[in-house]
Amino acid sequence: MVVANQKGGVGKTTTTVNLAASLALHGARVLVIDLDPQGNASTALGIDHHAEVPSIYDVLVESKPLSEVVQPVPDVEGLFCAPATIDLAGAEIELVSLVARESRLQRAIQAYEQPLDYVLIDCPPSLGLLTVNALVAGAEVLIPIQCEYYALEGLGQLLRNVDLVRGHLNPDLHVSTILLTMYDGRTRLASQVADEVRNHFGEEVLRTSIPRSVRISEAPSYGQTVLTYDPGSSGALSYLEAAREMALRGVGVRYDAQQAHSRMQNGQQNMAEGIQ
């Protein structure tokens, strides 16, 4: 599942790490791939990502196996992360001259031999080659939309890019999930934006919205997700509920490195029951 929106500050990284932690806490095996050169997802998961650490850059540019860069997340069993380092900032330029530049991440994931229930890819706030690699590798797109005035601005370009990738590189790709973030129920604007998004996207929009929460903002400074930092907070409970919706819908459960289809179905059912 690709978590994408070229607009910055809408909660892509926060959504990626907290949904991943929610799914892992209820028995799923989840891999987070940090494709943002800022490395914020790696920070939130407590993973070192200084320049010397093997990272997703080595996978994309140097063709290093994904298994050699994946690290287990310290606080959450079953959660793994392929970190991003600052080297990734130059990958957009270096990828231009490489063979099959759009599908390098896809091949790396397909060659990854450990069984997984979910792969979540955190994209940078742009529509360059890194995001294209994510869209080619993924089966589904999750778009976090901030409940603010500019929420839908630029979204059309992202949807056009999804259509282009589907038409030329990845026919299975589709937008399966829209998540409303930074929702402030005290304001009329948030309700208006939420209504507009639900009217436009319909069933793709999760019923659960993520509220503005100080705890969600504080958690990364401690190298944690909000699920481990303050499990009883409104933000943690909202992400748990969003993960529950995804599990019950079967969203994101597409990829298993060993084609263990029956295990995937059982894992999805157990996870849904566990979150309930």
How does pLDDT run across 187-202, given as a tens digit for each residue?
A: 899 999 999 899 988 9
Residue 272 has pLDDT above 80, yes or no: no
| pTM for this model (two decimals) | 0.88
Query: Which pLDDT belongs to residue 51?
Result: 80
- Residue 275 is predicted with a pLDDT of 44
Query: Who contacts 174 (Cβ-Cβ below 8 Å, separation ≥6)?
Result: 139, 140, 141, 162, 166
φ, ψ for residue 156, nearest 5 deg: -60, -40
Domains and CATH numbers, the chain: 2-275 (3.40.50.300)
pLDDT in tens, 81-126: 999 999 998 888 999 988 889 999 999 999 999 999 999 999 998 8
For range 213-217, the mean pLDDT = 93
Report the 3 state secondary structure along the chain: CEECCCCCCCCHHHHHHHHHHHHHHCCCCEEEEECCCCCHHHHHCCCCCCCCCCCHHHHHHHCCCHHHCCEECCCCCCEEEECCCHHHHHHHHHHCCCCCHHHHHHHHHHCCCCCCCEEEEECCCCCCHHHHHHHHHCCEEEEEEECCCCCCCCHHHHHHHHHHHHHHCCCCCEEEEEEEEEECCCCHHHHHHHHHHHHHHHHHEEEEEEECCHHHHHHHHHCCCHHHHCCCCHHHHHHHHHHHHHHHHCCCCCCCCCCCHHHHHHHHHHHHHHHC
**Per-residue pLDDT reduced to its tens digit, 24-55:** 998 899 999 999 999 999 999 999 888 889 99
